[in-house]
Structure 1
Amino acid sequence: MEQPSPLYLQLLGETARIEWRELEKFFARGVLLHVGRELDLVSVAEAIASDASEQVARWLAGGLIERMSADTAADFAGRSPSLWAVVVSPWVLVQERQA
């Protein structure tokens, strides 16, 4: 099994639970990326931070990551799900976690 990279470990340490109300300002600025549950949030952050553009493009094309839609934002605001987030400037990546 491959050891995580130093960047992965750094991003893992910067990942935290967050409430939707704390993310609304990032949604309003258009810098919030929604990461599907199928992916590892920290691996996505690592790919973006390391400019792995081909992999990121595949995830975007497959709908596994996307700029947060108004529908998803409204859903999160209404349900207050368990969310995890990490910042990879200028983006804030957010993922809903299983309860």
Structure 2
Amino acid sequence: MTDEPTLPLEATLNLETATIPWRELERFFAAGRAIGVSPSLDLIKVGAELSRDNAEQFKQWMDEGKVDVVGDEQAQAWHEADAEVWALVIRPYVLVQGKLDA
């Protein structure tokens, strides 16, 4: 039996991150499972902390307004702009971060 090397959590999550049209995530928003992540944070690091169930870090980010359930205004703006967002699934949630214009 051979042991295959495992990637660190952050590397694994990086492979699972993708850009996706917001409209494809609206069902998660409707279920209250779309979590908005500020562009000031690293989406992968936020996903890693969620995977580790680091409630203390999440509370700090929420208190700072950097992580929260996607609000109606933001969802509508992304819908109207037909926006693509960065997304990372950490079941049962989807972390969502608006793409910065290049």
Matched, 1:79 2:58: no
TM-score of the superposed pair, with normalisation by structure 2 = 0.89
Unaligned runs of 5+ in 1: none
Larger radius of gyration: 2
User: Residues of 1 paired with 2:82 and 2:67: CA distance?
Assistant: 20
Q: Which has the higher helix share?
A: 1
Residue of structure 1 in register with 2:9 after alignment: 7
TM-score of the superposed pair, with normalisation by structure 1 = 0.91
Matched, 1:59 2:61: yes
User: Residues of 1 paired with 2:84 and 2:71: CA distance?
Assistant: 18
User: Residues of 1 paired with 2:74 and 2:14: CA distance?
Assistant: 24
Corresponding residue SS for 2:53? coil
Runs of 4+ in 1 over 6 A off after TM superposition: none
Q: How many residues align?
A: 95
Residue of structure 1 in register with 2:45 after alignment: 43
Of 18, 21, 33, 2:20 maps to 18
Corresponding residue SS for 1:92? strand
Task: Kindly state the Cα deviation for residue 80 of structure 1 after the two structures are TM-superposed.
Answer: 2.4
| Corresponding letter in the other structure for 2:35 | L
Task: Kindly state the Cα deviation for residue 81 of structure 1 after the two structures are TM-superposed.
Answer: 2.8
Q: Percent identity?
A: 37
Unaligned runs of 5+ in 2: 1-6
Corresponding residue SS for 1:63? coil
Task: Kindly state the Cα deviation for residue 51 of structure 1 after the two structures are TM-superposed.
Answer: 1.3
Deviations 1:31-81 (A, max 9, x none): 000001000001000000011111111001111011011111001111123
Deviations 1:2-59 (A, max 9, x none): xxx7000010000001001101111111100000100000100000001111111100
